[in-house]
Structure 1
């Protein structure tokens, strides 16, 4: 797989991220692009997991706050931005939350 494919795959569910992570270890010259998008993809996965768990608890306790579930659509749109950046082979962070993940997840290096 080439670097562009691995970068895009790093956003496609956690299984796609694992495949991209394992395949990126096989590439002899380490690609900064793939490493960057692996960090961004893992970050948005963890962010969406935490937000969904919190929203489930909040809406269960206070059902009148059901409108907060629309935050999931915002996360979906941010995920699309990540895929577009990977497809264009750009190292741009995901809007709003992407800069939090740039220097995290050192195990990806």
Structure 2
């Protein structure tokens, strides 16, 4: 697989990220490294967001409407996939800038 396809795959669950990371480890270019960082960062934000929302909902069930904010994270996933498919190194909105220089193990 080429790096563009691996960049797209990196956004599709943790298994997709692992496949992209290990398959492209030797021949990784800046596009793949960039999207590996973005997708890993988005996964971490998504997990943290879901934990916080679940705690808030369990404490105050009236806040159940906050669960719909998870759709915003889904939109960010789709935007990341679109950027990877276009070969663009654009950050994911709101969170992407934070992850551009993080995760040194990626490269």
Q: TM-score range by the shorter chain?
A: over 0.9
2:19 corresponds to? 19
Give the length in aligned residue pairs: 107
Identify the match of residue 59 of structure 1 among 57, 60, 79. Answer: 57
2:96 corresponds to? 98
Q: CA RMSD in A?
A: 0.7
2:29 corresponds to? 31
Instruction: Return 5+ residue gaps in structure 1 as ranges.
Output: none
Instruction: Return 5+ residue gaps in structure 2 as ranges.
Output: none
2:7 corresponds to? 7
Whole-Å Cα distance in 2 between the matches of residues 4 and 87 of structure 1?
A: 7
1:97 CA displacement: 1.0
1:95 CA displacement: 1.0
